[in-house]
Amino acid sequence: MEYEIRFGQVQRSKYDCLLFDLDDTLYPLSAGLATAVLKNIQDYMVEKLGIEESKIDDLCNLLYKNYGTTMAGLRAIGYDFDYDEYHSFVHGRLPYENLKPDPVLRSLLLSLPIRKVIFTNSDKVHAIEALKRLGLEDCFEGIICFETLNPTHKSTVSDDEDDIEFLGSTQLSRPLSTSPKIFDIIGHFSQPNAESTGLPKTPIVCKPSESAIEKALKIANIDPHRTLFFEDSVRNIQAGKRVGLDTVLVGKSQRVKGADYAFESIHNLKEALPELWETDKVAEVNYSGVAVETSVTA
């Protein structure tokens, strides 16, 4: 006589890794660091690169829009500078005192039974300082930062992959050009029917470039199809979605194209995604036979 039983099978968690942006994602935009960064970038352009102050606003907007970061855009149009000096100038004077320890977020992160990695366009010194100020420096397996994707100062665009380490590596600067030829991007876009095609390429690898995201995932041995990506930038979210990541837009309550989830604050993490804590979920399947009890930890 056949009889029916229920057999417990442990379902594998949907995600193996949680990938977090840092700035304006792990702390709110209201902290004021983004505003200070923009001011410092503009000061650097005037003081160190000799760019006319009247052109700064338009130039910053065009470079950010077309290259992902102002820094990447400056290198694309012909400016050469020491990366460490740039980061020291831009991040060295930030109001880090605005970042306070966040024990609530720390508790949430430490309770998550999933691999956690930082992925930021910022340099390693800034990333470590910001995480330390937030009290989150030991909550992540590692940091994918500017130096991770740009381990050497490249004067030209190259598709060659460097032998680089996950947590960043030492940057080796090359002699800087003394009289670079500067591409007039403002003049380019002032022309009728101007398009972004035909713009010079940047040697800097950074979000929202899909190839930059793919390179970061490869370096950290992350499967995009089993990873949840947290970002405040819509275009970074959309680029991440195109390479196969599931995505969370942080800082907005409404989802946009490319975002699988959206919430106002990273503190809403457990409320919005309680399934991230469910790693021992058991599915009941009907079988005919003898009951066997199993215990498996994902």
C-alpha to C-alpha distance for 137 and 130, rounded to whole angstroms: 8
- Spatial contact of 118 and 131, defined as CB atoms under 8 Å apart: yes
240 to 133, 152, 161, 207, 260: CA distances (angstroms):
27, 25, 20, 9, 11
The answer as to whether 296 is a domain residue is no
HSE-up of residue 81 (Cα within 13 Å, Cβ side): 23
Q: For 201-226, what is the mean pLDDT?
A: 97
Specify the CATH number for the domain of residue 194.
3.40.50.1000
Per-residue model confidence (pLDDT) at position 119: 98
Residue 226 backbone zone (phi > 0: left; psi -120 to 50: alpha; other: beta): alpha
Q: What angle do CA 152, 217, 164 make, to 5 degrees?
A: 25
pLDDT band of residue 54 (cuts 50, 70, 90) is: very high
The answer as to whether 65 is a domain residue is yes
Domain count, the chain: 1
How many Å from the N-terminal Cα to the C-terminal Cα in the chain? 36
Q: For 263-274, what is the mean pLDDT?
A: 97
Q: Long-range contacts of range 184-192, CB-CB < 8 Å, 24 or more positions apart?
A: 184/77, 185/59, 185/62, 185/63, 185/66, 185/73, 185/77, 186/55, 186/58, 186/59, 186/62, 189/62
The answer as to whether 49 is a domain residue is yes
Residue type present at position 70: T
- Spatial contact of 28 and 252, defined as CB atoms under 8 Å apart: no
Per-residue model confidence (pLDDT) at position 273: 97
Percentage of residues in the chain with pLDDT exceeding 90?
A: 76
- Spatial contact of 207 and 85, defined as CB atoms under 8 Å apart: no
Cis amide prior to 28 (ω within 30 degrees): no
Domain enclosing residue 148, as ranges: 4-176+186-288
Query: pLDDT per residue over 82-117, tens digit each?
Result: 999 999 999 999 999 999 999 999 999 999 999 999
The answer as to whether 297 is a domain residue is no
- Spatial contact of 275 and 256, defined as CB atoms under 8 Å apart: no
**DSSP letter, residue 232:** S
The answer as to whether 110 is a domain residue is yes
pLDDT at 294 > cutoff 60: no
DSSP per-residue codes, 149-218: H--B--SS---PPP---TT----BPPPPPSSPPPP-HHHHHHSTT--STTPPPPS---TT-HHHHHHHHH
Question: Who wins on pLDDT, 162 or 228?
Answer: 228
The answer as to whether 105 is a domain residue is yes
Q: For 215-220, what is the mean pLDDT?
A: 97
- Spatial contact of 266 and 139, defined as CB atoms under 8 Å apart: no
The answer as to whether 181 is a domain residue is no
The answer as to whether 293 is a domain residue is no
